[in-house]
Amino acid sequence: MSKVLMKGNEAIAQAAIAAGCNAFFGYPITPQNELIEYMSKYMPDKGAFVQAESELAAINMVYGAAAAGARAMTSSSSPGLALKQEGISYCAGAELPAVIVSVSRGGPGLGGILPAQGDYNQATRGGGNGDYKVIVLAPNGVQEATEMVRKAFYLADTYRNPVIVLADGVIGQMMEPVEINTEALPLIAKPWASDGNLSRGHRNVVNSLFLNPVELEKHNQDLRAKYDLIEEKEVDYELSHDENAEVMFVAYGTPSRIVKAAIENLKAEGINACLFRPKTLYPFPYEALKKAAQGKKFVLCAELSMGQMIQDVRLSLEGSVPAHFYGRAGGMVFEPKELVNAVKDHLGGR
């Protein structure tokens, strides 16, 4: 297949259907509307599409469909993701595979509709109750977004856990040439599903209630063991331009591409910088980041927020290398020259 020019939101939707998504529940919100529109048009007849009454209802429909064995997905943007937190916690507690696409915009409150990265903490720390983790994948463009939504279904099914694809509004709205993987994603048996089929010989129950504290502690320990495995096996990142670099940028999503332009500009001025790009925000590449940073003069974390991922960057570095931050917010996006100037400032006006 050759490449086609597609808008991010539509490409994500098409990739989800290609990956076997057979149940989609959404609610309109900018900048992810094209995603639910595409789903309403192209979800196969045998699949389910519902425009829910709210994001609360949409995520609870996902919970029901996933509990009944479907490859279920929902998508939204910042204020909508806030409403989904209840259901995400229930999915995590009941160990249900679910894919949530978050096309984030500026906040807090109603905020704005332009791209931002103020939802890093919302995605990686969540707002639902209890000790739980959600796998978070962060694409840097339309092509990677389609690959990551496919991977999200694989990870969700494999670990029986919710997975968020955190795409900023740029990725949702921009058009890029893409080639979508149409190979069938193998189905993983779901013998635990509550799908009303007692011919299996026993009842299935999907539940997150454990009134007995001994059982609930055991459940939490089992979840923790699962998260340990995810942290061991699923960390993903990109390290580029590392040769002779004296400075290391850390950025995820669209801003990582602006960083690459800044790196070229710096090079023209005789300053070598590299990029460390986390592709999984949970599990965060703590060790790899620390290792990559060794010997650098400093790390500059560039985000479209007032500083969220920088906390994980500092946790990674454990004080071994100085960490600085450059951020814009509210839909304002930095230009390469702002990053170049920030680097030069920290180098002491070179």
Partner 1 sequence: MTVVFKKTKGLTDAPFSYCPGCTHGIIHRLVAECLEELDLLDHSVAIASVGCSVMSYEYFNCDAIQAAHGRAPAVATGVKRVHPEKIVFTYQGDGDLASIGTAEIVQAAHRGENITVIFVNNAIYGMTGGQMAPTTLPNQVTTTSPRGRDVSKTGEPIKMSELMATIPGATYIERVMTADPLSVRKAKRAIKKAFQYQKENKGFSMIEVLSSCNIGWGLSPNDALQYIKNEMASYFPLGVYKDKGV
Nearer to partner 1, 50 or 262 (CB): 50
Least distance CB 85 / partner 1 (angstroms):
11
Q: Taking the C-alpha atoms of 124, 127, 132 and 133 in order, what is their torsion angle to the nearest 10 degrees? A: -20
Instruction: Single out the segment in contact with partner 1 by CB under 8 A; choices: 1-9, 28-36, 44-52, 151-159.
Output: 44-52
* Contact pick of 5, 54, 269, 294 for partner 1 (by CB under 8 A): 54
Secondary structure letter of residue 294 according to DSSP: T
The residues pairing with 50 across neighbouring beta strands, listed in sequence order, are 25
Closer residue to partner 1, CB minimum distance, 85 or 308: 85
336 touches 258 (CB < 8 A): yes
Q: Residue type at 298?
A: F
Stretch touching partner 1 by CB under 8 A, among 19-27, 154-162, 175-183, 248-256 = 19-27
Closest approach, Cβ 299 to partner 1, in A, equals 41
Q: Select from 29-37, 52-60, 163-171, 238-246 the region that touches partner 1 (CB under 8 A).
A: 52-60
CB of 217 to partner 1, least distance (A): 19
17 in contact with partner 1 (CB under 8 A): no
**Interface map 94-133 toward partner 1 (x if CB under 8 A):** x---------------------------------------
Q: Which of 108, 191, 196, 270 binds partner 1 (CB under 8 A)?
A: 196
Report the alpha-carbon distance of residue 12 to residue 152 in Å, rounded: 11
Would you count residue 329 as binding partner 1 (CB under 8 A)? no
Stretch that binds partner 1, among 50-58, 175-183, 291-299, 326-334 (CB under 8 A): 50-58
If one asks whether residue 40 binds partner 1 (CB under 8 A), the answer comes out as: no
Which three-class secondary structure string do you get for 306-347?
CCCHHHHHHHHHCCCCCEEEEECCCCCCCCHHHHHHHHHHHC
DSSP 3-state assignment of 74?
A: strand
Query: 68-97 mask for partner 1 (x: CB under 8 A)?
Result: xxx-x-------------xx--x---x---
Task: Return the number of the residue (81 or 281) whose C-beta is nearest partner 1.
Answer: 81
- Helices 286-293 and 309-317, interaxial angle, to 10°? 70
Q: Residue 94: helix, strand or coil by DSSP?
A: coil
Q: What is the C-alpha to C-alpha distance for residues 63 and 128, in angstroms, rounded to an integer?
A: 14
How large is the angle between the packed helices 142-159 and 213-233, nearest 10 degrees?
A: 140
Rounded to 10°, the helix 255-268/336-346 angle is 60
CB of 66 to partner 1, least distance (A): 7
Residue number with CB closer to partner 1 (132 or 249): 132
Distance of alpha carbon 256 from its chain centroid, rounded? Answer: 15
Q: Residue 16: name the closest of 165, 234, 210 by CA.
A: 165
The answer to whether residues 109 and 163 touch, using CB atoms and an 8 Å cutoff, is: no
Least distance to partner 1, CB of residue 178, Å = 28
Judged by CB under 8 A, the number of residues near partner 1 is 40
Binding residues for partner 1, rule: CB under 8 A, are 22-23, 25, 48, 50, 52-54, 56-58, 60-70, 72, 86-87, 90, 94, 194-199, 203-209
